[in-house]
Structure 1
Amino acid sequence: MAIIAGSTITASQYIACSEKRDKYGHITSRISGASAKAGHMMRDNVFQTPTHTKEYDAVIIGGGVAGLAAARMLHHRGMNNYRLLELESHTGGNASFGSNKYSAFPLGAHYLPIPNTDNQPLLDMLAEAGILTGYNSNGLPVYNETDLCYDPEERLYIHDRWQEGLIPQLGTTKTTQQELKRWLDEMQQLRAIRGTDGRYAFDIPIANSSVDPAFRELDNINMRTYLQQKGYQSEELYWYLDYCCRDDYGAGIDIISAWAGIHYFASRKGKAANADNSQMLTWPQGNGRLVQHLQQFSKEKTLQQTIVYKVTPQGNRVAIDYYDMRLHTTQRIIAKACILATPQFVTQRLIPGGTYDHDFVYSPWLVANITLDRVPESSGYQLCWDNVIYRGKSLGYVYAQQQQLTQVQPERQVVTYYLPLDHLDPVSSRKYAIALEPQQWVKLITDDLEKVHPGIHEVIRDVDITVWGHGMIRPHTGFITGAARAAAQSSPYKNIFYAHSDLSGVSIFEEAFYHGNKAANALADYCS
């Protein structure tokens, strides 16, 4: 038996599925994603003593956004005698991307909200990448028009038709509309409010947020409790906020803390000269566009398919032992310092005496890139960049070709389907996700889409499935202000530095970028 996204699929049903191959048999599929086998090799530490040793000034372990950001900063600090070690055959982490003959597409994160205007390091990087093209006379950033999300942006399938926008409007009562407005007004007020320490109550990076107890105590209750305490009752509002939490955190309002739930809204203070504050920067390959820019700084210094299994401080040096999966050899690097741009469940296995705190919980995800003859027409609003299903188990799908400049209708269309695996506990969800075969995923995904696009199975040609067992850190109740996150902010060794978005408790590009910069600057200062 397999349980996924709230559904129970029995063995007999899978047999029935295989007998009805006329419905799904024409759909090709495959599963990719983070290498569970390699990760388990590291966990079990089955490696021999290194046979080769090299020396560098620095080593970065992990090639996600944090590791790539750290490499870029080392470059800008004039440190080029380093190596970046990456477990997978590519860098990018959960901002990776893929492509086929019809389109590029994201394998994970797919957009960047207009950044806060005081986040200068991020603005500088966007300018460096040609995404931010300058500033107007009022000092507001001007973004490349082709990098801003094109209209139409968002639609919601509710009451058997599509409406424009993701906040439920179609068929809602006057009372619900008043509650929705009250919520948005409350978030607007919280966006501007500051704590007694003078900091914004909610900010990006999270390290800049106020530590005023009046706001931090919101981390001790979940988002549902907060809504109840505030007197909200609308089913549509509860659904919308549950969707938002699942979208950014991989879990709903019963799990996510009220502080994190509010942060989703109140931390965003971005402004632009040529875009609304709520607009997104996005690309066919999603945040892979940002990864492509970052990769250029470490492309010649990256060693892929390397399993780092031990990091040992040795006085003013540090030894990094790794297994090269291509050469099938164990090797050692001696460096002045290193950056662990890895999640805590990896970091604590690498350092001497490391103890993983299970308060760090990671949400598993399923991302599927679906190639089809066309997206079937449905009643209501037209196809958008983001297409969400009211009360759906998935988060719907993103139209990957929305940002393509050509006016010619593509031969085939590609949509990216997102499913947070949050209807079981994370460990159980990971086990079930790994156990499912591609054909089983195809059935689950296709049947879900049939609810809004009847007959869609007939036009689907290929499904490229990516399973993220540890897709993102989960800011559950008490985690943001808890002891585990506080203890993880710095390593116990002077020449080992940490960089990963899980140190923030929120897995967004801005946080990973911040921690990568922070660790790289600290390492460069140490080595100077």
Structure 2
Amino acid sequence: MAIIAGGTITVSQYVACMEKKDKYAHISSRISGASAKAGHMMRDQQFGTPDITEYTDAVIVGGGAAGLTAARHLHHSGFTNFRLLELEPHTGGNASSGSNQYSAYPLGAHYLPIPNTDNQPLLDLLAEAGILTGYDPNGLPIYNETDLCYDPEERLYIRNRWQEGLVPQLGISHQTQDEIRRFLELMEQLRKAKGSDNRYAFDIPVANSSNDALYRELDQLTMEEWLTQQHYHSEELRWYLDYCCRDDYGAGISTISAWAGIHYFASRKGKAANADSSQLLTWPQGNGRLVQHLQQFSRDKTQTGCVVYKITPETKQVLVDYYDINTHQIKRLVAKACIMATPQFITQRLIPGGQYDHAFVYSPWLVANITLDQIPESSGYQLCWDNVIYQGKSLGYVNAQQQRLTQQLPAKQVITYYLPLDHLDPVASRKYAIALSPQHWVKLIADDLEAVHPGITELMHDIDITVWGHGMIRPHKGFITGDVRAAAQKSPFANVFYAHSDLSGISIFEEAFYHGNKAAGALTDYCG
């Protein structure tokens, strides 16, 4: 017997208690992510008169994918007298990456689908970065083989075993098979469909999509409502579509509009000489690979740790006031023009008379990079790049080392675990996420993975947790075609330009890239 406060227990009970207590004690962990404290300084604090005034031709506020793209555009246009101000200690936004001694890994976005062949600016970027290596005689892009996702790509854990691919196959009825086939055939038709304006019904960037009412009216339904209208009732098909919406938008089919849900499938028209149209470009550091290329064009012009708290457009100049966290000084930049590469919930708080419209809803996310001895074997299909759990709370995990160039297994393995925080409304989910300690996240993550990999907790050593309070814009019903998004497209000031993926209503690299180029082009035209 063992004596404890308040009574006695058996030795076996004591051992069981200690094992339960210490189950996660060997796992080190920490939380990183967007600097909520610094961001709230902009929202809550009153700053005095700037102590230092400096001058430049242009200022870019925000160093995510859109801001870095804008900087690249300015650089290539010969417009070199600019500054880029970033709140975080580094640029990259939700396409940032990290690393440890075993692997680089993504802190957010982790892949880029084969681009549409008419998206020449994006193809040019990939060529510049050495990812696109040329074109075949038919004009199709040729991609670097090491940048294409290696086989095997995807698997799904369903009915106690892994299957190849993410569309459910194991144990499904003939009726479900028919529904899945019918849905995929319809998506293929819509991929080719054009509206009365001769634009593709669904395109990337979103701005190129058809304005035909036949397609725009899909935005007035949720994806779930549309599925019911179209007589898609299969549990497995609905789960798959819910997974897709949660993956790209941070919310499921009961929230996301049918237009956005269909766009996920019908907007992709990429082709390549050496890859299938459905193949992905990916790297150990995820889209950090693209960020690292973009950073070179503004590295000597970038200031991190800058809390921009006020933008004052005047007739011939813009005043950009900010607090420098590194020097504890209040500063002002005077420029001819400014690019706001910031989400609307920030932009509208900075400009005069700005009013943030809560129709712009942002999905919170958690990304966890887990270092472990090995990924346990399990029944069914082999380990893939993307590993998804049927009806799971999370989106599963990505094998960060899938793209390694050597066949030799690393000393430790790193997997990237994705969890959209959509169990509550976005505001409540953000508060929930911020309140949790690293130890709570460790337990949640380990317990989730134990369902498909019994014993995996014992193999874990370290978890690098990233919480994105405003991870991505959420295209809820009515948002894509609504007046609020339309109004946000244009700045009310002649010398202030907007650039962020939330202006598209869809948070993917291609949209950030589009808006960054658009804003930089408008700025150079304005400045002459």
TM-score (norm 1): 0.96
Q: Name the counterpart of 1:467.
A: 467
* Residue 368 in structure 1 maps to residue 363 in structure 2: no
Q: Name the counterpart of 1:103.
A: 103
Q: Name the counterpart of 2:285.
A: 285
- Taking the TM superposition and a 5 Å limit, the aligned residue runs for 1:231-380 are 231-380=231-380
Q: Name the counterpart of 2:72.
A: 72
**How far does residue 113 in structure 1 lie from its aligned partner after superposition?**
0.2
**How far does residue 356 in structure 1 lie from its aligned partner after superposition?**
0.2
Letter of the structure 2 residue corresponding to residue 46 of structure 1: Q
Q: Name the counterpart of 1:393.
A: 393
**How far does residue 46 in structure 1 lie from its aligned partner after superposition?**
2.4
Q: Name the counterpart of 1:223.
A: 223
**How far does residue 18 in structure 1 lie from its aligned partner after superposition?**
9.7
**How far does residue 279 in structure 1 lie from its aligned partner after superposition?**
0.2
SS of the residue corresponding to residue 475 of structure 1 reads coil
Task: Quote the Cα distance in structure 2 between the aligned partners of 1:285 and 1:27.
Answer: 22
**How far does residue 315 in structure 1 lie from its aligned partner after superposition?**
1.2
Task: Quote the Cα distance in structure 1 between the aligned partners of 2:359 and 2:391.
Answer: 29
Equivalenced residues, count: 513
Structure 1 gap segments, 5+ residues each: 1-15
Task: Quote the Cα distance in structure 2 between the aligned partners of 1:352 and 1:335.
Answer: 17
Task: Quote the Cα distance in structure 1 between the aligned partners of 2:362 and 2:453.
Answer: 32
Deviations 1:167-216 (A, max 9, x none): 00011111111111111100000000000001000000000000000000
* Residue 127 in structure 1 maps to residue 127 in structure 2: yes
SS of the residue corresponding to residue 236 of structure 2 reads helix
**How far does residue 45 in structure 1 lie from its aligned partner after superposition?**
3.2
**How far does residue 483 in structure 1 lie from its aligned partner after superposition?**
1.1
**How far does residue 44 in structure 1 lie from its aligned partner after superposition?**
1.0
Task: Quote the Cα distance in structure 2 between the aligned partners of 1:408 and 1:230.
Answer: 49
Q: Name the counterpart of 2:420.
A: 420
Deviations 1:377-401 (A, max 9, x none): 1100000000000000000000000
Runs of 4+ residues deviating >4 angstroms: 16-19
Deviations 1:200-247 (A, max 9, x none): 000000000000000000000000111110111111100000000000
Task: Quote the Cα distance in structure 2 between the aligned partners of 1:20 and 1:339.
Answer: 53
Q: Name the counterpart of 2:63.
A: 63
Q: Name the counterpart of 2:136.
A: 136
**How far does residue 48 in structure 1 lie from its aligned partner after superposition?**
1.6
Deviations 1:435-488 (A, max 9, x none): 000000000000000000011111000000000000000000000011110110
Task: Quote the Cα distance in structure 2 between the aligned partners of 1:180 and 1:384.
Answer: 23
Letter of the structure 2 residue corresponding to residue 485 of structure 1: R
Task: Quote the Cα distance in structure 2 between the aligned partners of 1:339 and 1:469.
Answer: 23
Deviations 1:29-64 (A, max 9, x none): 000000000011000132121000011000000000
Task: Quote the Cα distance in structure 2 between the aligned partners of 1:385 and 1:17.
Answer: 37
Task: Quote the Cα distance in structure 2 between the aligned partners of 1:18 and 1:354.
Answer: 56
Change (3 A) 1:142 1:277: same
Deviations 1:304-341 (A, max 9, x none): 00000000012110000000000000000000000000
SS of the residue corresponding to residue 23 of structure 1 reads coil
Task: Quote the Cα distance in structure 1 between the aligned partners of 2:173 and 2:442.
Answer: 37
Letter of the structure 2 residue corresponding to residue 49 of structure 1: T
CA RMSD, 1 decimal:
1.0
- Taking the TM superposition and a 5 Å limit, the aligned residue runs for 1:488-527 are 488-527=488-527
Q: Name the counterpart of 2:382.
A: 382
Task: Quote the Cα distance in structure 1 between the aligned partners of 2:141 and 2:217.
Answer: 35
Task: Quote the Cα distance in structure 2 between the aligned partners of 1:71 and 1:20.
Answer: 52
- Taking the TM superposition and a 5 Å limit, the aligned residue runs for 1:147-186 are 147-186=147-186
**How far does residue 417 in structure 1 lie from its aligned partner after superposition?**
0.1
**How far does residue 20 in structure 1 lie from its aligned partner after superposition?**
3.6
Task: Quote the Cα distance in structure 2 between the aligned partners of 1:300 and 1:408.
Answer: 38
- Taking the TM superposition and a 5 Å limit, the aligned residue runs for 1:475-486 are 475-486=475-486
Change (3 A) 1:307 1:213: same
Q: Name the counterpart of 2:23.
A: 23
SS of the residue corresponding to residue 403 of structure 1 reads coil
SS of the residue corresponding to residue 382 of structure 2 reads coil
Letter of the structure 2 residue corresponding to residue 177 of structure 1: Q
Task: Quote the Cα distance in structure 1 between the aligned partners of 2:241 and 2:409.
Answer: 35
Letter of the structure 2 residue corresponding to residue 258 of structure 1: A
Task: Quote the Cα distance in structure 1 between the aligned partners of 2:407 and 2:233.
Answer: 45
**How far does residue 374 in structure 1 lie from its aligned partner after superposition?**
0.1
Q: Name the counterpart of 2:44.
A: 44
Deviations 1:405-437 (A, max 9, x none): 011110000000000000100000000100000
Task: Quote the Cα distance in structure 2 between the aligned partners of 1:18 and 1:492.
Answer: 63
Task: Quote the Cα distance in structure 2 between the aligned partners of 1:224 and 1:82.
Answer: 46
Task: Quote the Cα distance in structure 1 between the aligned partners of 2:66 and 2:313.
Answer: 22
Task: Quote the Cα distance in structure 1 between the aligned partners of 2:47 and 2:464.
Answer: 33
Task: Quote the Cα distance in structure 2 between the aligned partners of 1:144 and 1:19.
Answer: 49
Sequence identity of aligned pairs in percent?
76
Q: Name the counterpart of 2:5.
A: none
